[in-house]
Amino acid sequence: MRHWSERMGPGFGMSRPNMNMNAIAPQHKTAHGVSPILSPTEQSHIHYSFNVPFSSDLAGPNTEDILYATNGAVLRWTHPEDAPDDVPIYELPVHAQNVMNLRKMCKELSTGPLPVEAHVKSSEPKRVKGQVTNVCLSGSPELVHKSREKILNEIPLALRCAVVDIEGELVLDADATALKSHVVDHLDGIAQFCGVDVFLLGPKFASPSEGLNGNGDAGRDQRWRVAIYGDMESAEHAKTRVLIFIDRLLGRVVDGTMLELSLHTVVCGRSRKNIKLIESATNTAIYFPPPFSQVYRYCPPSANRRNPEEIFITGDTPQNIAMAKQKIHELVSRTRLFMKDAVVAAAKIDSILLTRLDKVRKIMETNGTFIQFPPMASTRSMIRIQGVEGLHVERTVRDIMSLTGQFYSASWWIQQVDTSRLPSPADIRTMLSDICANSDADISFEKLTFTITGSDDAVKAALMVISEIKFVSRSQYQIRVKIELANEHKEFVSGKKNGKINKIMGQSSVQIIFDGFNEYNFNIDVCAGNYEAMKSGLGLVEQEMPASISFHVPDQYHKRIIGIGGQHIQRIMKKHSVFVKFSNAMDRGGVGREDDDIKVDNVICRTPARNAQNLELVKSEILDMVDRVDSEFTSQTVNVDRLYHRQLLLRLNQLEELEKKWNCKIIFPSTEQASDDVTITGPEWQVPHCVDEFLGLVPDQHELVVAHSPELKKYLDSKAFRNDIIPKLKAQYVVDVHVEENETELTDDGKPTITLLWSFTRNNAGGVRDAMDFLNTNLASAGVEVIVVKGAIPRPKSDSFEDSLQYFDSKLLQHAPAVSATDSPIKATFGDDVARERSTIFDKLRKPGSMSSISSFLDRRKNSSHSPASSFFKNGSNNVSKSSLISIESTRSFNADRNPWNDSGVNLPEDDTTPWPTRHFGNGSGSSYDHKPLHIQHPGDATPKHIMRGSTDSGRPSTSHSTNSGYPGPIGPPRS
């Protein structure tokens, strides 16, 4: 029996004379609630409305880029030539056909032998740009749920476009005049086998401002693109087959092996570490199928689904592939599985599968576990998690349970209503479709009871729409909203002796019940007999929900931050009314774990959502006590050709030394992703150095084509150029130059050219332009005139303040030329135009010669990396859910057996006017930089972004003799 204090009835602690207690516990049960009116002998009939997740906003490719398309692809994914320019995307033939197929299916259900009706409605609600397609089913609950399962598994959900880059010479014939016939035939075969549409697109051009000489050469990605359009599973299947075909064109051998689907992510290891080791040791590429094949059962007509247990392997030789197979089987033989079952509401499972699948995939890869979900819309509520360690399985379960807290469920019971005002079944279907389309929540109507499920915002939007329906608002009704929350947060939300909950009940005339306790979560039921009271009470409950951020601080700093007797951290906690918890290696499963486990988030800050804006201030103060080399962990993405990843993985020992040197982690994308992005994570002050050395392992080159002349040819063949200029270019600019003559490269008038091939590593890309200027200076000194055909890199616009000097009348400053046609050197008035010009002065500043300023011209792909300075003040902590503010990261690094999250004596100060005041940013870190108030819908509905410090030094105040640092004396050596 549950302890009496865990269920707080409406009369607990105070009287509620205005509440009808009988309304809380009506007589007759429904699918999601109770109805006090209809007798149980009446036949159950339900109306159920839901949105079909068509990706009607997915546009087709640009017709100017299409070089080849498979049969019928252009007709399906492009508008007719006579279509107007402003025709919406959802009117593309492929989207219109999907809606037509859905209507046909629903018509067959309605005219079939089973007593169920299905109606389709398409609309354009204000909340989204585009079309929303809605289905309303009527019949017995069992038939309605079976029909919904049939619809969601027999239509293409989540249409997407998968893009694979491919070198042009692989698809063009020797004369570069046509596509290779076997390439075209293979693309057609993939499209037919997988049931997708495939386009071969030309090189992607950047904006004209990024090009050279106005022709866009430098801003162009030299690679072609294979664009694959289809549903999620079919597109992934076709993408893998295109990648394997590219490997074949590169001369690699293709083979495969079979392995049970549930073992794939387990064998890959955490962050796919095991598979990357196998690929680096055997020089192979291993392609795994998507882990959700058992969830979606849709397959396009006359197409073939990928075998979910089939793994493709490509390598240079059959021996390498055999070695990779052997290593995979050795991993499987050493694997010992831990399994755990968990119960999640069936409606929430469907919501997770439809809207949070990317997060689920990340959870599985991070923990090296597999999650077995039931099929879509099967109304099953059991999931199974398996992994190689109990700790990782437990973390996975908790992360999934945190996801469920982002979805609400609600019931609206109509208790007394004038029967003459009851809507007809047709009116009910129209009403439910409108509510569903405008809120994106699933809603049912059974025995005068509305049942709503969906995300927190969707459920609240649906309740608001229902409250405006006349026959509902004029009746007596009861509303109940269920919020799911982790058990460890119970005392955090309820307060000491249930003080917070009692206060909310007294203020907003609602009843709050803690119910439905299981191993991980419990439900907070907010009940009210009035919509406005429920809205107010629910808002107050949400403001008491835990908002949290988590981040990494090396264990050796924990004692320094906590202080003697906890004095330092207690001062910070009381100052900001935030509770802080540290987790050491023992809490995470003991000493001696792998390196990956050392850098998990081990500090968590938690506070009620109404005080969420103070979380970043606490984080800032904590990180002020950490040395620069161990500062806040951040990540930076660099762009490296995916095919070169294989060469980098062969130098794994060198990469590991680089990681140890800079305390960073280099993460390559999975092989089947076909992504060029490599992520480097580590302390924010160390990541730029690691990125620089990593790019030093990546070679690149740039071609400068100049017109042929006898003087130029003589100079380039001279000993002075070979023995003097080339060594200086290498020593001063770290750039090699080679002279080539390409007969295919001609000037506009057909004359021969000379090609200067500049070779460098990506971290030295900024020196290429300076090297070219050095060579041009020597050519000019030798009297050689150079005419550039293509490949020149122009200097950026002058970085001087000349444009701004027109606004200053000073004898010390030379006046800039007048910007207008008048004789006056300055404008007569500082109007809006001048103000706009002045506001953008610093926006025009750049760093000449820096890597980031040059790489946009030299890189044949994208910008090689983000500016290192931009990563110094990055922050990855914000809350996933706007209202519940439950952070997935909050429990990832903590022992499941420990339950430290209670009120902990950290109470927020009261306010006489309102018990939940809005708190703005203060000058929490002692900096002279003042944070501006955060303007949000209601206090604490989102964790604020990290704001850059205003100091002009290293960004962190000194740790010695600081009045604001939290400790009186010097701690540790001074930082440089």
- Residue 417 banded pLDDT, cuts 50, 70, 90: confident
The verdict on 692 and 703 lying in the same domain is no
Domain CATH for 476? 3.30.310.210
Crossing angle between the packed helical segments 357-367 and 346-355, to the nearest 10 degrees:
90
Q: Which two tokens stand for residue 818?
A: 């007048």
Q: Residues with Cβ < 8 Å from 662, sequence gap 6 or more? A: 682, 686, 687, 689, 690, 693
pTM of the complete model: 0.76
| Sole residue written with tokens 């209503």 | 417
Q: Is the pLDDT of residue 476 over 80?
A: yes
Res 896 pLDDT > 80: no
User: Which one of 368, 402, 436 terminates a domain?
Assistant: 402
Residues 398 and 340: beta-carbon distance below 8 Å = no
Rounded to an integer, what distance in angstroms lies between the CA atom of residue 90 and that of residue 570?
A: 56
* Domain identity same for 725 and 776: yes
pLDDT of residue 745: 75
Domain boundary among 661, 678, 696: 696
What mean pLDDT do residues 464-480 have? 91
Does an H or E element contain 268, and which?
A: helix 264-268
CA gyration radius, the chain: 32
User: Measured between alpha carbons, how far is residue 97 from residues 100, 475, 528, 566 in Å?
Assistant: 5, 42, 45, 65
Single out the residue of 840, 640, 670, 5 nearest to residue 311, CA to CA: 670
Distances from the Cα of 823 to the Cα of 653, 819, 820, 828, angstroms: 68, 10, 8, 11
For residues 936, 940, 941, 946, the Cα torsion angle rounded to the nearest 10 degrees is 80
Integer Cα distance of 200 and 165 in angstroms: 10
Residues 615 and 715 placed together within one structural domain of the fold: no
Q: Is residue 434 part of a domain?
A: yes
Task: Note the pLDDT of residue 211.
Answer: 37
pLDDT of 575 above 80: yes
Instruction: Give the C-alpha separation, 411 to 525, whole Å.
Output: 10
Asked if residue 364 has pLDDT above 60, the reply is yes
Pair (519, 569) in one structural domain: no
So what's the pLDDT on residue 832? 42
Tokens standing for 485? 């929350």
pLDDT in tens, 640-655: 999 999 999 999 899 9
Determine the pLDDT at residue 173. 84
Hey, is 546 helix, strand or coil?
strand
432 contacts 135 by C-beta, under 8 angstroms: no
Q: How many CA atoms, within 13 angstroms, populate the side-chain half-sphere of residue 515?
A: 11
Query: What pLDDT sits at residue 647?
Result: 92
pLDDT band for 22, please (50, 70, 90 cuts).
very low
In the predicted structure, residue 140 carries a pLDDT above the cut 70: yes
Candidates 430, 424, 411; CA nearest to 479 is 411
* Judgement on whether residues 454 and 470 belong to the same structural domain of the protein: yes
* pLDDT above 50 (res 362): yes
Q: Are strands 66-69 and 46-52 parallel, antiparallel or unpaired?
A: unpaired
Rounded percentage of the chain residues whose pLDDT exceeds 90 = 53
* Average pLDDT of span 623-642: 89
- The confidence score (pLDDT) of residue 43 equals 54
Same domain, 418 and 534: yes
Q: What does the pLDDT read at residue 600?
A: 79
Per the model's pLDDT, the better-predicted residue between 593 and 697 turns out to be 697
The angle formed by the CA atoms of residues 528, 531 and 534, to the nearest 5 degrees, is 45
Do both 517 and 637 map to the same domain? no
Given a cut of 80, whether residue 203 has pLDDT beyond it is yes
CATH number for 665: 3.30.1370.10
Residue type at 486 in one-letter notation: A
Q: Do 514 and 538 have their domain in common?
A: yes
Q: Which residue has the higher pLDDT, 42 or 337?
A: 337
Give the integer Cα–Cα distance in Å for 95 and 673. Answer: 26
CATH of the domain at 710: 3.30.70
Give the Cα-Cα-Cα angle 718, 721, 722 (nearest 5 degrees): 90
User: 């480097």: which residue's tokens?
Assistant: 680
pLDDT for 466 beyond 90: yes
Task: Supply the pLDDT for residue 588.
Answer: 60
653 and 602 in a common domain: no
Please give the pLDDT value at position 910. 47
**Residue 183 binned pLDDT confidence (cut-offs 50, 70, 90):** very high
Distance CA 670, CA 287 (A): 8
Cβ atoms of 705 and 790 closer than 8 Å: yes
pLDDT higher than 90, residue 791: no
Closest CA to 898 of 595, 599, 582: 582
| Nearest alpha-carbon partner for 799 in 858, 853, 766, 846 | 846
262 DSSP assignment: G
Q: What is the DSSP letter of 928?
A: S
State the Cα–Cα distance between residues 650 and 781, nearest whole angstrom.
Answer: 46
Q: Are residues 731 and 680 in the same domain?
A: no
Written as one string, the DSSP assignment of 466-534 is: HHT-HHHHTSEEEEEEEEEEEGGGHHHHH-GGGHHHHHHHHHHT-EEEEE---SSEEEEEEEESSHHHH
Contacts of 801 (CB under 8 A, 6+ apart): 841
Among the ranges given (153-157, 258-262, 874-878), the one the predictor scored with the smallest mean pLDDT = 874-878
CA quadruple 395, 396, 401, 404: dihedral, nearest 10: 140
Q: Which residues of 48-81 are buried (b: 16+ CB within 10 A; e: fewer)?
A: bbbbbbbbbebebbeeebbebbbeebbebbbbee
pLDDT at 23 over 80: no
Average pLDDT for residues 124-139, to the nearest whole number?
Answer: 89
Sign of the CA dihedral with 416 first, then 422, 427, and 428 last: positive
Q: Is 501 left (phi over 0), alpha (psi -120 to 50) or beta?
A: alpha
Answer yes or no: do 615 and 667 share one domain: no
Q: Is the pLDDT of residue 20 over 50?
A: no
**Per-residue confidence band for 330, with pLDDT thresholds at 50, 70 and 90:** very high
Structural domains counted in the chain: 5
**Domain encompassing residue 507:** 407-544
CA 935, 941, 946: angle at the middle one, nearest 5? 65
Bigger pLDDT: 388 or 803? 388
In whole numbers, what is the pLDDT of the chain averaged over residues?
78
| Residue at 191 is within a domain | no
Give the residue from 712, 592, 688 showing the smallest Cα distance to 638. Answer: 688
Q: What is the pLDDT of residues 502-526, one digit of tens each?
A: 999 999 889 999 988 888 999 999 9
pLDDT value for 796 = 62
Q: Is it the case that residue 614 has pLDDT exceeding 60?
A: yes
Mean pLDDT of the 853-868 span: 39
| Residue 9: per-residue pLDDT | 38
Instruction: Quote the pLDDT of residue 872.
Output: 37
Q: Which amino acid would we find at residue 431?
A: M
For the chain, what percent of residues have pLDDT higher than 70?
A: 74
Report the pLDDT averaged over residues 654-673: 92
pLDDT of residue 236: 94
Calculate mean pLDDT across residues 894-920. Answer: 43
- Determine the pLDDT at residue 893: 38
pLDDT digits (tens, 9 = 90+) for 36-93: 333 333 457 899 999 999 888 999 999 989 999 999 999 999 998 888 888 999 999 9
pLDDT band at 489 (very low <50, low <70, confident <90, very high): very high
- pLDDT value at position 801? 55
- Say if CB 376 and CB 417 are below 8 A apart: no
C-alpha 506, offset from chain centre: 41
What pLDDT score does 277 carry?
93
Average pLDDT over residues 680-708: 92
Q: In the prediction, which pLDDT does 900 show?
A: 42
Is residue 170 in a domain?
Answer: no
Half-sphere exposure of 149 (CA within 13 A, CB side): 16
| Number of neighbouring beta carbons within 10 Å of residue 19 | 21
pLDDT surpassing 50 at residue 189? yes
Element of type H or E holding 927 = none
899: number of Cβ within 10 Å: 13
Q: What are phi and psi of 780, to 5 degrees?
A: -65, -40
Residue 666, SS3 per DSSP: strand
Mean pLDDT of 110-116: 90
Contacts of 894 (CB under 8 A, 6+ apart): 581, 583, 587, 588, 604
Q: What's the pLDDT at 412?
A: 95
Judge whether 766 lies within some domain: yes
Residues 609 and 675 in one domain: no
- pLDDT for 301 beyond 60: yes
What pLDDT score does 930 carry? 41
pLDDT of residue 907: 52
pLDDT of residue 802: 53
Query: Given the structure tokens 């056909």, which residue do they identify?
Result: 97
- pLDDT greater than 70 at residue 251: yes
What is the pLDDT at residue 41? Answer: 35
Beta bridge partners of 586: none
* Res 826: pLDDT: 36
Is pLDDT above 90 for 288? yes
